[in-house]
């Protein structure tokens, strides 16, 4: 059997979908799994030995130059590469217009996706031939992906132990070893201070105080600040300036370079953002906080993870801006994040 998984973005969502690979391999011996992913997030799956073929798309670039020669050539190649691999099943767990079109282009007659009621882009339902409804127990996003996949195989994913590991190249693993070897002895923490929405961010002084408490409780430890923008770098420099040289900025790292670094540290702390989920996928404990999004939906699960939801009645509002932004940020206490850290480390 050959199946196609369409999960193109975002970084965190692609990572949340990884356990579907393990599920399929456990329920169907000899299955071939292909995957469609945005070029930006290719490092999450490119070295996975259980994926037979990866179809890379660049939809943002295509939208900017829809009628360019390059876009036309890319689309022709995507069409031909999909059609040369006849699929028995196509699972669209992206659920938008783009993924629906890709499913249709595959030529497969069995295209499984989300029930129309849960789709933000309802037009997606025109391209799937079977729509799978969620159940009340499917609160975590990974459970929702597994629900869509599992219905056709008749085995309950909840009775299985499933993993979603990320495999790195030998070269990137070696580079991570070399970088970590340059740090002092002691525990290594990563602060993931940035994310995509302002309503997912914590407040600067909270990071400063948390860094002070961690370095005081764990002498000789190092805190690495991961950053991806000038604002995030400036926040990291502020933390360093107020806490001292136990805190360091990570060099700017691409996704494929960051993955093996996160694999080698002792704990990652951050909000609802891709690097936190990368850390969880490679087996690193995490402490995560949630403001505009839901911990029940997105937080890593298991004994080595802790999550905190903002103490606001309007939490998990999914708004990208809010007049009560500062109040919401400070509703996540330093005490809460520090206590969660101690629970995992001590």
Inside any domain, residue 85: yes
Looking at residue 123, the DSSP 8-state letter turns out to be: G
Reported confidence tier of residue 63, pLDDT bands at 50, 70, 90: confident
Q: What is the mean pLDDT of residues 1-17?
A: 98
**pLDDT of 177 above 90:** yes
Mean pLDDT rounded to a whole number for the chain: 97
User: For 78-120, how does the pLDDT look when each residue is reduced to its tens digit (9 = 90+)?
Assistant: 999 999 999 999 999 999 999 999 999 999 999 999 999 999 9
Same domain, 187 and 62: no
Inside any domain, residue 132: yes
How, if at all, do strands 111-114 and 222-226 pair?
Answer: unpaired
Same domain, 338 and 203: yes
Output b/e per residue, 234-249; b: 16+ Cβ within 10 A. Answer: ebbebbbeebeebbbe
User: Strand pairing partners for 190?
Assistant: 224, 268
Same domain, 263 and 130: no
Q: For residues 19 and 162, is the Cβ–Cβ distance under 8 A?
A: yes
C-alpha–C-alpha distance, residues 224 and 232, integer Å: 13
Residue 336 sits at φ, ψ, to 5 deg, of: -60, -45
Same domain, 117 and 13: yes
**pLDDT of 69 above 90:** no
Which strand (E) or helix (H) includes residue 271?
Answer: none
What pLDDT does 61 receive? 85
C-alpha–C-alpha distance, residues 132 and 267, integer Å: 36
C-alpha–C-alpha distance, residues 115 and 144, integer Å: 11
Same domain, 228 and 310: yes
Among 159, 190, 220, give the residue marking a domain's end.
159
Q: For residues 149 and 23, is the Cβ–Cβ distance under 8 A?
A: yes
> Residue 341 belongs to a domain with what CATH number?
3.40.50.2000
Inside any domain, residue 164: no
Q: Which two tokens stand for residue 23?
A: 């599920």
Among 102, 133, 159, give the residue marking a domain's end.
159
User: For 268-289, how does the pLDDT look when each residue is reduced to its tens digit (9 = 90+)?
Assistant: 999 999 999 999 999 999 999 9
Q: For residues 275 and 268, is the Cβ–Cβ distance under 8 A?
A: yes
Domain that holds residue 142: 2-159
pTM of the model: 0.95
Among 96, 126, 159, give the residue marking a domain's end.
159
Q: How many domains does one find in the chain?
A: 2
Same domain, 182 and 43: no
Whole-number Cα distances in Å, 211 to 13, 52, 181, 245, 287: 29, 43, 22, 11, 14
Q: What is the mean pLDDT of residues 67-75?
A: 89
What pLDDT does 67 receive? 82
Looking at residue 5, the DSSP 8-state letter turns out to be: E
User: Strand pairing partners for 91?
Assistant: 5, 112
Inside any domain, residue 190: yes
Q: Which two tokens stand for residue 84?
A: 């040369």
Same domain, 154 and 175: no
Q: What is the mean pLDDT of residues 19-25?
A: 98
| Sign of torsion over alpha carbons 328, 334, 339, 342 | positive
Inside any domain, residue 165: no
Same domain, 261 and 332: yes
């Amino acid at each position: 059997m050959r199946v196609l998984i369409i999960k193109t973005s975002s970084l965190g969502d692609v990572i949340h979908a990884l356990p579907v690979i393990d599920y399929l391999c456990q329920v169907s011996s000899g299955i071939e799994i292909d995957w469609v992913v945005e070029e930006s997030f290719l490092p999450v799956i490119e070295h996975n030995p259980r994926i037979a073929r990866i179809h890379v798309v660049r939809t943002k670039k295509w939208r900017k130059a829809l009628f360019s020669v390059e876009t036309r050539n890319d689309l022709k190649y995507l069409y031909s590469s999909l059609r040369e691999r006849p699929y028995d099943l196509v699972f669209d767990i992206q659920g938008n217009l783009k993924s629906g079109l890709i499913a249709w282009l595959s030529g497969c007659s069995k295209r499984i996706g989300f029930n129309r009621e849960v789709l933000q882009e309802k037009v997606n339902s025109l391209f799937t031939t079977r729509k799978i409804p969620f159940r009340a127990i499917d609160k975590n996003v990974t459970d929702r992906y597994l629900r869509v996949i599992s219905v056709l195989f008749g085995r309950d994913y909840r009775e299985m132990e499933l993993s979603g590991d990320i495999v790195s190249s030998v070269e990137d693993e070696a580079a991570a070893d070399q970088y970590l070897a340059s740090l002092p002895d002691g525990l290594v923490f990563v602060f993931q201070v940035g994310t995509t929405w302002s309503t997912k961010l914590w407040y600067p002084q909270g990071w400063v105080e948390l860094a002070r408490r961690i370095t005081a409780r764990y002498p000789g430890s190092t805190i690495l600040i991961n950053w991806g923008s000038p604002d995030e770098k400036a926040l990291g420099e502020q933390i360093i300036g107020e806490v001292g040289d136990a805190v360091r900025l990570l060099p700017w790292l691409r996704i494929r370079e960051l993955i093996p670094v996160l694999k080698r540290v002792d704990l990652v702390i951050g909000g609802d953002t891709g690097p936190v989920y990368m850390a969880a996928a490679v087996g690193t404990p995490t402490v995560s906080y949630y403001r505009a999004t839901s911990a029940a939906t997105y937080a890593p699960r298991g004994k080595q993870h802790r999550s905190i939801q903002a103490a606001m009645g309007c939490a998990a509002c999914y708004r990208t801006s809010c007049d009560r932004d500062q109040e919401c940020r400070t509703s996540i206490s330093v005490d809460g994040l520090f206590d969660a850290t101690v629970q995992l480390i001590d």
